[in-house]
Structure 1
Amino acid sequence: MTLPLLVVDAANVVGSVPDGWWRDRAGAARRLRDALAAYAESGLPPGTVDPPLPGPLEVVLVVEGAALGVEPVPGVDVAAAGGSGDDRVVEVVAGRAAGRRCVVVTADRELRRRVGALGAEVTGPRTVRP
């Protein structure tokens, strides 16, 4: 059985709330990664996407810049962006989403358009904010 795919744009999600993330970008990405581990088992909370996305899920956190050293944990793969984080999100969707449901978490309009063209659904950062 192929699991649904949840791809999270880490920079966009952690940057969506002014909680001091800019002082410790890697730490903010780690906190997000750890919160995402629960979604790998349970799926997204009811009411966040329609139709619902119950677990288990394959979860991929895309990191860039100062968060490049963030390691994967059980349930959450980490995809490092050598350049643009948006380009890496698109690569992950193009490479892993074929034939299955894919939801991308970002508020970036251009990225939403790009992954939508690949058949992915998109939801905003509030869906997964720790």
Structure 2
Amino acid sequence: MLIVVDGANVVGSVPDGWWRDRAGAAARLRDALAAAGPGVLAGGTDGDEVVLVVEGAARSVRAVPGVRVVAADNRSGDDEIVDLLRREGTGDEVVVTADRGLRDRVTALGARVVGPSALRIRR
């Protein structure tokens, strides 16, 4: 399963001062995803790939073992997620976001959508 995390949306779902350091907040999310491993979503398996899509000031965040980071260079993270699914989708994708517009776009491509609270991470 390909698990695509809408970084800006998930970071923004917790009012913890993320707006003061967007890159730092995205890095903390990346690290929490990596620490959760295959159990980042209920029913996760060792074959799952986690992709964190970042944008804006968070584009400097780099991948770590267990989490691939895709930077939306000069475009929206939503557009990058849609393009990622078009390029790499196999029919077994989950997008983590609370963005209704993005939800509609990715479900039209066959992806499932869960909200940020579905992530099994510690922040």
Determine if the TM-score, normalized by the shorter chain, exceeds 0.5.
yes
Structure 2 SS opposite 1:103: strand
Structure 1 CA distance for aligned equivalents of residues 35 and 85 of structure 2: 21
Following TM superposition, the consecutive aligned residue runs of length 4 or more in structure 1 with deviations greater than 6 angstroms are: none
Structure 1 CA distance for aligned equivalents of residues 38 and 108 of structure 2: 28
Structure 1 CA distance for aligned equivalents of residues 87 and 36 of structure 2: 21
Give 1:12's match in structure 2, choosing from 9, 17, 40: 9
Greater helix fraction, Structure 1 or Structure 2: 2
- How many residues get paired? 120
The answer to whether the aligner puts 1:57 opposite 2:54 as a matched pair is no
Structure 2 CA distance for aligned equivalents of residues 107 and 41 of structure 1: 21
The answer to whether the aligner puts 1:92 opposite 2:89 as a matched pair is no
CA drift at 1:43: 4.6
Give 2:39's match in structure 1, choosing from 39, 42, 52: 42
One-letter amino acid matched to 2:112: E
> Is there any run of 5+ residues in structure 1 with no aligned partner, and where?
46-51
Give 2:96's match in structure 1, choosing from 94, 100, 105: 105
Cα deviation, 1:31-86, whole Å, max 9, x if unaligned, reads: 110111134433513xxxxxx34333111100000100000000111110021110
Percent of aligned positions that are identical: 61
Q: CA RMSD in A?
A: 1.5
CA drift at 1:10: 0.3
User: Contact conserved, 1:37 with 1:76, CA < 8 A, in 2?
Assistant: yes
Structure 1 CA distance for aligned equivalents of residues 112 and 36 of structure 2: 17
Give 1:22's match in structure 2, choosing from 19, 23, 36: 19
> Is there any run of 5+ residues in structure 2 with no aligned partner, and where?
none
- TM-score, structure 1 normalization: 0.85
User: Contact conserved, 1:8 with 1:60, CA < 8 A, in 2?
Assistant: yes
Structure 2 CA distance for aligned equivalents of residues 103 and 39 of structure 1: 16
